[in-house]
């Protein structure tokens, strides 16, 4: 798959090149990679749950170069739909960092893609058998010209192609509210912390009131439409700078909240 699991986070920030390795085993993408000793059943694989994550700098350097080839990150995941070949990666990268600094867990439904913003979510359909999985894209790759996406071991299990190694798939992104206006149009810096997007406006208002009582910053509820559904987004901000954003993030986390951090 992506060699980011062994350090692509550093690669993307330093824009250095990776040396791809190939495997003599057609069932896996990388030398020394493979499935875990304890296998999974397709029914045990949970789909990724899409949420309106902020698009941070980590993993989204654009353009970036791998082995002398330049790649660019798409400005948005909205409307992406493409057919191509999927491969998978497993034990060799388990526990290592992905392109955005998250830890790769081969038992979760995640994926690597060369150009979709990180994180984003997509439905992947195996065109050979009709099986589907929803994945969270949090890594870069595959840097093989004939492959479109690299799936986690779990995602490949759910799609039913672990033994074959590759499959023809359709990748369709899932559009979510919450990532469209997190960046200041003049400075390019992130100005908000997002606490969630809720179908029930009472839930959003209750969260807004709770958070407003503990922070010295605006807390708002903004209605947005996503996928034909009206959501109510709760955000803290705008804030003055990254320092205040980090302070508010730490404060909210200490009180048990899980804000989506959007650092400058």
- List, in order, residues 6 or more apart from 113 with CB less than 8 Å away: 122, 137, 139, 140, 141, 148, 149, 150, 171
Burial class from Cβ neighbours inside 10 Å (0-12, 13-18, 19+) for residue 134 reads middle
Strands in 193-198's sheet, in edge-to-edge order, are: 193-198, 229-236, 219-226
| Under 8 Å between Cβ of 17 and 10 | no
pTM above 0.75, yes or no: no
Residue with tokens 């980011």: 4
Which tokens go with 85? 């070949």
Res. 22 pLDDT band, cuts 50 70 90: very low
Residues of the chain with CATH 3.30.70: 193-254
Identify the pLDDT of residue 13: 32
φ/ψ (deg, to 5) at 16: -100, 170
Helix (H, G, I), strand (E, B) or coil at 16: coil
Structure-derived torsion over alpha carbons of residues 139, 141, 147, 153, reported in degrees to the nearest 10 = -40
pLDDT in tens, 153-202: 999 999 999 999 999 999 999 866 444 444 554 555 567 787 877 888 99
193-254 has which fold? Alpha-Beta Plaits (3.30.70)
Which tokens go with 23? 């495997």
φ/ψ (deg, to 5) at 2: -80, 135
Identify the pLDDT of residue 10: 36
Question: Is pLDDT larger for residue 256 or for residue 177?
Answer: 256
Residues of the chain with CATH 2.40.40.10: 3-173
Question: Is pLDDT larger for residue 174 or for residue 107?
Answer: 107
Q: What is the DSSP string of 71-120?
A: E---S--TT-EEEEEEEEE-TTTTTSB-TTSPBP-TTS-EEE-SSS-SSE
**H or E segment and range at residue 232:** strand 229-236
Under CATH, which number does the domain 3-173 receive?
2.40.40.10
Res. 260 pLDDT band, cuts 50 70 90: low
Mean pLDDT (the chain) is 79
């Amino acid at each position: 798959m992506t060699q980011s699991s062994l350090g692509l986070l550093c690669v993307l920030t330093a824009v250095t090149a990776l040396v791809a390795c190939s495997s003599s085993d057609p069932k896996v993408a990388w030398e020394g990679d493979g499935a875990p000793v304890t296998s999974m059943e397709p029914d045990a694989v949970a789909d990724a749950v899409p949420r309106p994550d902020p698009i941070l700098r980590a993993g989204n350097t654009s353009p970036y170069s791998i082995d002398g080839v330049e790649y660019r990150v798409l400005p948005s995941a909205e409307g992406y739909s493409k057919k191509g070949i999927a491969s998978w990666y497993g034990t060799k990268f388990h526990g290592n960092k992905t392109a955005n600094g998250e830890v790769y867990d081969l038992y979760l439904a995640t994926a690597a893609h060369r150009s979709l913003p990180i994180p984003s979510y997509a439905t992947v359909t195996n065109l050979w058998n009709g099986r589907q999985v929803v994945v969270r894209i949090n890594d870069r790759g595959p840097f093989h010209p004939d492959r479109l996406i690299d799936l986690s071991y779990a995602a490949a299990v759910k799609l039913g192609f672990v033994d074959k190694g590759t499959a023809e798939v359709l990748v369709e992104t899932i559009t979510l509210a919450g990532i469209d206006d997190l960046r200041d149009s003049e400075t390019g810096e992130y100005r908000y912390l997002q606490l969630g997007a809720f179908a029930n406006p009472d839930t959003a208002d209750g969260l807004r009131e709770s958070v407003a009582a503990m922070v010295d910053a605006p807390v708002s509820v903004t209605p947005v439409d996503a996928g034909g559904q009206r959501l109510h987004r709760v955000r803290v901000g705008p804030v003055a700078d990254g320092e205040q954003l980090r302070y508010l993030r730490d404060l909210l986390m200490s009180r048990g909240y899980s804000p989506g951090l959007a650092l400058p």
